[in-house]
Amino acid sequence: MKQTDQNTAVGLDRAFKALKGETPIHDDPEQIDEETFRCGKCKRISFYTEQGKDDLCVNCTLDLYPHTPGAKRTGTSKLAADSMRERAPTLRDRVLSILKLESLTADEVAQNLAQSILSIRPRLSELLALGKIVETSERRRNQSGKLATVWRAV
């Protein structure tokens, strides 16, 4: 094995261990170079990735919308988002699964999954932000008689 290949392998091994919290990325915890940064949330040293979302590490990025329910305000909106934190990923997966089978409106998804529309609409927004669903040009009437977007999986 070439020296550069061996250094890369050692570096990747150290990075994976650091991501799992088994070891620091650097022997000196204060050493930061052009490939690393201190996370703005948890303050751990981490590697830059393609997302580079406001200098947050991968673990802290997964703790943000659309990976977790979001809220535009504090108070009851934030409490509602927090209450869905554990349930949202499973519900989001169920919504995506049904949209892989057929294109549906939010109301139709809610009816098919026997869920409240108030639980489904945010999951559709999260899936859209994650790039897993798209809006079709089709519109259908929802329960209130208004035209609603029909969604499909990508």
pLDDT tens sequence across 35-82: 666 666 676 766 655 444 456 666 665 567 777 787 777 788 878 888
pLDDT of residue 46: 67
Say what angle helices 88-101 and 117-129 make with each other, to 10 degrees: 80
**Cα–Cα nearest to 68, from 145, 150, 8, 126:** 126
pLDDT of residue 113: 98
Residues 40 and 104 sit within 8 Å (Cβ to Cβ): no
**Cα–Cα nearest to 81, from 94, 93, 67, 95:** 67
For residue 1, name the pLDDT band (cuts at 50, 70, 90): very low
Q: Decide if pLDDT at 136 tops 70.
A: yes
pLDDT of residue 82: 81
Q: Which residues, including other chains, have CB under 8 Å from residue 57's CB and lie 6 or more apart?
A: 39, 41, 42, 44, 46
Q: Decide if pLDDT at 2 tops 70.
A: no
- Average pLDDT of span 104-122: 97
Q: Which has the higher per-residue pLDDT, 78 or 125?
A: 125
| Domain spans, the chain | 3-61, 76-153
pLDDT of residue 48: 59
Joined together, the tokens standing for residue 132 give 């897993």
pLDDT of residue 6: 44
Percent of the chain with pLDDT over 70: 59
Q: What are phi and psi of 141, to 5 degrees?
A: -70, 135
pLDDT of residue 10: 47
Q: How far apart are CA 47 and CA 33, in angstroms?
A: 9
pLDDT of residue 131: 94
Determine how many CB atoms are found less than 10 A away from the CB of residue 59. Answer: 15
Predicted TM-score (pTM) of the model is 0.60
Residues 139 and 148 sit within 8 Å (Cβ to Cβ): yes
pLDDT of residue 85: 83
- Name the CATH architecture for the domain at 76-153: Orthogonal Bundle (1.10)
